[in-house]
Amino acid sequence: MTLAFLALVGDYAAVSAGLFLAFWVRFASGWFAAPLGVPSFELYRPALLLAALGWTAIYVSYGLYDPARGLRRQDEILLVLKGTVFAAIFLMAAGFLYREVSFSRLYFVLAMSLGFGSVITMRMAQRRLRRMFRRRGFGVQRILLVGSGALGLAVRERIDRNPDFGYELAGVVTEDGGATEGGHPAFGSWAELPALVVKHDIDRIFIALPEAPEEAVARIVRSCQHLPVQFEVVPDLFGRMNERMRLTEMDGIPLLGVKGFPLESWNRFMKRTFDILVAAVLLAVFAPIGLAIAVLIRLDSRGPILYRQIRLGRDGRIFRIHKFRSMQEGAEASTGPVWSSAGDSRTTRIGSILRRTSLDELPQLWNVLKGDMSLVGPRPERPHFVRQFGERIPRYFDRHRVKSGMTGWAQVNGLRGNTSVEERTRYDVFYVENWSLFFDVKILLLTLRHVVKHAAESK
């Protein structure tokens, strides 16, 4: 609660600073002409403080002051961006109705930009501060995990790779106290939970038992209900993540319905417009790098600069994907279609660098502009593999309801190259059925982080 209050106060201070700085930049810096004169700051000040209050209230409505645990950096940035966009609309409407002060349009642009930047800067500083405290043991919550299957393993992996959440996994509890699925010794059995909570000062219990009957979960909760411990039931992401469910209510009665397919009509137009604008900018930015890569490929090995391959896209449409060639010419002449693997001997010297940094994918921006692909979507496969996977993997063809992408939800979750096709399909179908423009932006930011990380590691 203290951290949430500090975050609220910090955001209000950051928004106020952004609004005041925007006033200085617009009217007092001398960088912009003020044909109507410089308005009185004393007149602006109460309006700006009220605006900062309304702006922060919008952040509250977006859940930005719920406990920060479980919220990754990119998710936090996107939530702040959503709140800022809504705040901009709200404040422009309020400015139109509030006749005491006339706000210039340039001021609004500066205020939104500087306010957003101030809040992000404040939140990143708070993140660093939380991390520093948690490394010293302050604000860390001790967790017991009930469940040792695939879902439990997924929870453990996320706790391990996200220390910012402030969770410390004390151990895993199995029904009989036997070994976990990974072969590690269990912390104890379900019957020992109350004693384990007291002995090891546990703050939360995560229950990851997707196949357990409701009575078993209720029994676990009842056994510890007299203790000051919080329960979190982890839903079956692997079994249910593809169900297009939505929760509504009718006079207090919860109703679970089925979502419609999100990428229709207007949404499809928005996604295509976003693809064209971003792909055109990226092509212009990376043109010099692309030219340098083309020269290096030509000098490194015989064969064409670009590699073209037949892929299957939306609704089973065939198109030719473009990549910078990273393998020897005729690499599949003797083997036929096969997946490449790490350390593939067919990869050229420059090709290994291109693949590590994903620069071999740059020509696909042209596929995006042509309309064959999207920036974000399920990765396209060759017809040979599509036939194989479609016969044995449930809902595999659902991933073809949208355009293939240069990057996707599966890829940013570590499912790249020669990984489980079943897992990739689950993530791809989840993306198809839960698409939003902000989801695309989130995936692009995660992809950028992945590329930068791998480029740094390859040095």
Q: Output the domain CATH number for residue 236.
A: 3.40.50.720
Contact by Cβ (8 Å): 76, 14: no
Q: What is the pLDDT of residue 68?
A: 46
DSSP string, 366-409: HHHHHTS-EEESPPPB-HHHHHHHHHHSTTGGGGGGS--EEE-H
So what's the pLDDT on residue 204? 87
- 22 has pLDDT over 60: yes
Could you tell me if 12 and 160 lie in one domain? no
Per residue in 399-411, pLDDT (tens digit) is: 888 999 999 998 8
One domain for residues 394 and 412: yes
Confidence of residue 246 (pLDDT cuts 50, 70, 90): low
Q: Does 114 map to a domain? A: yes
Other beta carbons less than 10 A from residue 144's beta carbon: 23
**Are residues 351 and 375 both part of a single domain?**
yes
Both 97 and 226 in a single domain?
no
90 contacts: CB under 8 Å, gap ≥ 6? 54, 55, 58
Contacts for 416 with CB less than 8 Å, ≥ 6 apart:
410
Instruction: Identify the helix (H) or strand (E) that includes residue 321.
Output: strand 318-324
Contact present, 221 and 206 (Cβ < 8 Å): no
Answer yes or no: is 416 within a domain. yes
Yes or no: say if 178 and 164 are a contact pair by the CB < 8 Å rule.
Answer: no
Residue 19 pLDDT more than 80?
yes
pLDDT tens digits, one per residue of 87-139 = 888 777 766 665 555 667 787 888 889 999 999 999 888 888 877 777 776 77
Q: Confirm whether 250 is domain-assigned.
A: no
What's the token pair of residue 372?
């064959």
Q: Which of residues 135, 152, 174 is at a domain's end?
A: 135
Query: 83, exposed or middle or buried, with CB in 10 Å at 0-12, 13-18, 19+?
Result: buried
Q: List the beta strands (DSSP E) in 42-130.
A: none
Comparing 353-357, 387-391, 450-454, the range with the smallest average pLDDT is 450-454
Average pLDDT value for residue range 44-70? 77
Could you tell me if 68 and 154 lie in one domain?
Answer: no
Is the distance from CB of 264 to CB of 401 less than 8 angstroms? Answer: no
**Residue finishing a domain among 118, 135, 152:** 135
Overall number of domains in the chain: 3
As a whole number, mean pLDDT of residues 420-444 equals: 87
Q: Is residue 48 situated within a structural domain? A: yes
- pLDDT of 378 reads 92
25 in the same domain as 129: yes
Q: Quick one: 304 and 434 in the same domain?
A: yes
Does the residue 402 lie in any domain?
yes
**Torsion of Cα atoms, 56 then 61 then 62 then 64, to 10°:** 60
Number of helices (H), then strands (E), in the chain? 15, 11
Mean pLDDT computed over 430-444: 87
- Both 35 and 152 in one domain: the answer is no
On whether both 60 and 9 belong to a single domain, the answer is: yes
Residue 269: per-residue pLDDT: 85
Q: In the listed set 119, 135, 151, which residue is the last one of a domain according to the structure?
A: 135
Same domain? 33 vs 89: yes
Q: Please indicate, yes or no, if residue 414 is contained in any of the structural domains.
A: yes
Per DSSP, the three-state class of 189 is: strand
Give the sign of the dihedral formed by CA 210, CA 214, CA 218, CA 220: negative
From CA 165, how far away is CA 68, in angstroms rounded?
7
pTM of the full predicted structure? 0.57
Contact between residue 296 and residue 302 where contact means Cβ atoms under 8 Å apart: no
| Long-range CB contacts (within 8 A, 24+) of 451-456 | 451/357, 451/358, 454/356, 454/357, 454/358, 455/356, 455/357
Q: Let me know: does 233 contact 184? Beta carbons within 8 Å.
A: no
Give the Cα separation of 111 and 87 in Å (integer): 11
Task: Categorize the per-residue pLDDT at 238 as very low, low, confident or very high, splitting at 50, 70 and 90.
Answer: very low
The answer as to whether 446 is a domain residue is yes
Which residue range(s) make up the domain with 384?
Answer: 265-331+343-457
> What is the SS3 assignment for 136?
coil
List Cα–Cα distances, 259 to 237, 248, 319, 454, in angstroms. 17, 11, 30, 37
Domain assignment present for 88: yes
Q: What rounded mean pLDDT belongs to the chain?
A: 80
Are residues 219 and 295 both part of a single domain?
no
Q: Are residues 225 and 309 in the same domain?
A: no
